[in-house]
Amino acid sequence: MRPRNEQGFTLVELIIVLVIVAILMAVAMSS
């Protein structure tokens, strides 16, 4: 585990989550 900052999220993790959500939304819209 990497050390985390006070907010509990790193910038990279936040971006990854946003990308996953965007992909899920795109799949839901296309289906």
Q: What angle do CA 7, 24, 19 make, to 5 degrees?
A: 40
| Predicted local confidence at residue 7, as pLDDT | 62
Q: pTM for this one?
A: 0.59
pLDDT (mean) for 1-24: 81
Contact predicate 22/29, CB 8 Å: no
Query: Is the predicted pLDDT of residue 29 greater than 80, yes or no?
Result: yes
pLDDT (mean) for 14-29: 96
pLDDT (mean) for 1-28: 83
Q: What percent of the chain has pLDDT over 70?
A: 71
| Predicted local confidence at residue 11, as pLDDT | 83
Burial string for 12-24 (b: 16+ CB within 10 Å, else e) reads: eeeeeeeeeeeee
